[in-house]
Amino acid sequence: MMINKTHILILCGGQSGEHEVSINSAANIVRAIDQIKYTVSVIGIDQTGVWHALDVDAFTQQQGLGTVLAQKILPHQLSVQFGNPQTFIQAQPPLPSLNAIDVVIPVLHGPNGEDGTIQGLLTLAGIPFVGSKVLASAVSMDKEVMKCLSRNAGLPITDFLVFQQGQLTEKDFTLIRDRLKLPFFVKPCNMGSSVGVHKVHSEAEFMLAVSDAFQFDNKIIIEQAVVGAREIECAILGNRHPVASVVGEIIPHHEFYSYEAKYLDANGASLVIPAELPLEIIQNVQSLAIKVFKCFCCAGLARVDFFIDAALNIYFNEVNTFPGFTSVSMYPQLWQASAVTYANLIDQLITLALE
């Protein structure tokens, strides 16, 4: 009997510092997706912003980071067409595998992927896609806007300062230290996966951290650190009626959960799922995670991150509107621990996109 499959288009790569993480996430999704129910196509966006049709079988065989998209490119020129969602992607010469896309999974992290830009493009094209719409994607990506909205909503956050490129000098270190105390964190405002993030302990480290963070954005945020913090994460799934996963804890084997600890060091961190916390604290984290999800008008999925201090006070850190799906990523692991398999998780995300 002929099965009418839903056609899924996966977008990955992109121009942000999280390019390789995106590719690794996308490969894991393609391997896990139910091939009986879905037809899958993959488009890789290279670091210059050019879109390429990829050979799906070759793509899923890649291992680890450092993937070279050129090894998987099909010889087609791609263009985006508006007016008919069924002909969203046009290829020359014609590529039948890209016809009639039903749902897009934008497995893109960071600027030009998770910040509302691609979501706006897909919205204009009238194509259902997995994840939050433009507003939630944009405000969740910008750490300054996210913190200001959090403060207005009464969410528990740490103190912070924001600076534009060119505003900071070595003289500002004393003022920042006196307000936020040492150590503090320096981060690009619009970046994820801990790219460009530094924990500053001294004046000597300060300008180096600032200089590096400004490589990834023209605006940085400097945040007060939580003394003795435990890093806690909760996954959210749903649209109007979101549900929370079990709560997990990240125990970094580096000083903090840096990019190196996440992706370059095989022993960079331990994931404890479920987290060893009192039931009341777990329920509070889950409740806060859902509140954050609704506060930012998220849809489909999100991972909400918290810090917990020694007195078990909870501080909201950030929300990630398209969390990683790599082999070490917390989001799919939290749902697996909540009795939702990887394949079923993807199935539910597609259903939520169509909804």
Residue 52 CB partners (closer than 8 Å, separation 6+): 43, 44, 45, 46, 69, 72, 73, 74, 78
C-alpha–C-alpha distance, residues 20 and 44, integer Å? 11
How far, CA to CA in Å, does 314 sit from each of 95, 277, 311, 319? 51, 12, 9, 15
Residue 180 has phi, psi (to 5 degrees) of -100, -15
What's the pLDDT tens digit per position in 130-144? 999 999 999 999 999
pTM of the model: 0.89
Could you give the percent of the chain with pLDDT greater than 70? Answer: 91
CB atoms within 10 A of CB 95: 17
* pLDDT at 265 exceeding the cut of 60: no
What's the pLDDT tens digit per position in 328-349? 889 999 999 999 999 999 999 9
What confidence tier does 264 reach under pLDDT thresholds 50, 70, 90? low
What's the pLDDT tens digit per position in 107-125? 998 888 899 999 999 999 9
All domains in the chain, ordered by first residue? 6-129 (3.40.50.20), 139-156+227-354 (3.30.470.20), 160-224 (3.30.1490.20)
Residue 180 CB partners (closer than 8 Å, separation 6+): 159, 160, 161, 222, 223, 224, 225
What's the pLDDT tens digit per position in 216-260? 889 999 999 998 889 999 999 999 999 999 999 998 765 655 556
CB atoms within 10 A of CB 270: 10
